[in-house]
Amino acid sequence: MKDLASLARLDGIAQAELCARGEVSAEELFEACLARIDALNPLLRAVVTVNREPPRAVKPGPFSGVPFLVKDATPWQGLRWSMGSRLFAKNVAPTQTPYGRRLEAAGLVCVGKSALSEFGLLGSTETLLEGVTHNPWDLSRSATGSSGGSAVAVAAGLVPLAHANDGGGSTRIPASACGLFGFKPSRERTVMASFATSDFGDLTSDHCISRSVRDSALFLSVTEDPTAAKPVGFVREPIRRKLRIATWTRTMMGEEPEPSVRRAYDETVALLTELGHHVEPIAPPAVDGPALRDAFFLVAGAAIAGVVETMDRMRGVPVQTEELEPFTWELVEKVQAFGADALPWSRATFAKAVKVYDEATRAYDVVLTPTLATEPWRIGHLSPVLKREELLRRTARSVGYTPIQNIVGCPAMSVPLCFPEGGLPIGMHFAAARGEEALLLGLAYQLEEARPWKDRWAPYSIPALFS
């Protein structure tokens, strides 16, 4: 069996190839993964449930034998499904989702569940149920969220890739903070990953966080809905044509990025120009940022209010104050105070924003912005025990580029192009029109080739500590 660091350095496809050649077995990949989790997870707290049941009949798919994690927002048959909430601390998923069946058929082996903020509501992975997930680049910094556990596990070399989902940047933002590739497919591109639907669920796309573009591209090909328009398949090559790229730096809330982020952005513009693309600064789409923020959290609050009502009926006992975090309760109370017009108003607000965004970007192949307006914040900055208004204000300062793509339903990605000396990674954000995943992945391959990041390991990672 390969040593811990050697296997940790390999992406999912490389591990599957080792397994296919008989150089390592699925059981050995699984045991090595558990050893890596045992070595670093007590420090990082990325994994909240560990599946120690060895794989029995691994399917002979393209990822055959490869260990991975499922974000605890999403059910996986037989494993605890807490959604980061004390309300569901002992909940176990009874059945597999269509998405899960696709991943099993691809040969992936689930070694556990990764941490998230409660119900994926906040951009920092610290909960009253599970505690704090630490960024392996700097333990005092947040892994961001909500897919912080998945990002940390990949950045630390615990697994080569991890499932994530994204309702407003929850895949792309942690990928940026941890120096990884984070991709969000178009709405309805993949098969169903949940049992229920809601307006908040309609904003959410399931995919993965990975070290390599090819892992992400293959993952998309095995989860793609065959009935979706313009099938993507497995994108394997860099894009060959020159792109027209629109770009801006001001967030939806009217904020400009911190100087370190601006420097990283300028370097990215220079790289794209060097690669032959036409990069054109334009005015940001004139969306109503405060209204979009309010609509987004009303939709989230409505989804949680529905969960509370369902639990009240099922148990015959109301959900108790201590079963949900303070921020979650405030979202529920806000949507209840708004009344019956909350969802209709939010949908109308979203529709206006979609029209404005489409009109501003339709002449371009790709849109470029930073992923975050700030560097990753310190732990506690977005603690769920803080007041709602303060949390929304702090979130709005940093998270002002990514939610619009969820509202529009188009694909987007954070690419780890910038690793400032002595600082944390800074991702750059790219988006395309709905259905244009192949274009974005082709660009990602090209950027990966031009500025390789596969050997950029965090200080608190298996390769950095055990080589």
Residues carrying an active site annotation: 71, 146, 170
Strand order in the sheet with 47-50: 47-50, 109-114, 67-71, 161-166, 205-210, 181-184, 412-418, 426-432, 366-370, 244-247, 278-281
DSSP state of 130: T
Give the phi and the psi of residue 112 in degrees, each rounded to 5: 155, -170
Distance between CA atoms of residues 92 and 420, nearest Å: 42
Distance between CA atoms of residues 372 and 135, nearest Å: 16
DSSP sequence for 16-53: HHHHHTTSS-HHHHHHHHHHHHHHHHHHH--EEEE--S
Please tell me whether the peptide bond between 146 and the residue prior to it is cis, using omega within 30 degrees of 0.
Answer: yes
Distance between CA atoms of residues 178 and 152, nearest Å: 7
| Residues 402/371, Cβ–Cβ less than 8 Å | yes
Tell me how far CA of residue 22 lies from CA of 4, 13, 66, 76, in angstroms.
18, 14, 13, 28
The length of the chain is 467
Pairing of strands 181-184, 134-135: unpaired
Give the phi and the psi of residue 267 in degrees, each rounded to 5: -65, -35
Distance between CA atoms of residues 116 and 114, nearest Å: 7
Note the helical H segments in 199-341: 199-202, 213-223, 259-274, 289-315, 326-338
Q: What are the residues facing 298 on neighbouring strands?
A: none
Pairing of strands 67-71, 109-114: parallel
Distance between CA atoms of residues 68 and 80, nearest Å: 16
Pairing of strands 278-281, 244-247: parallel
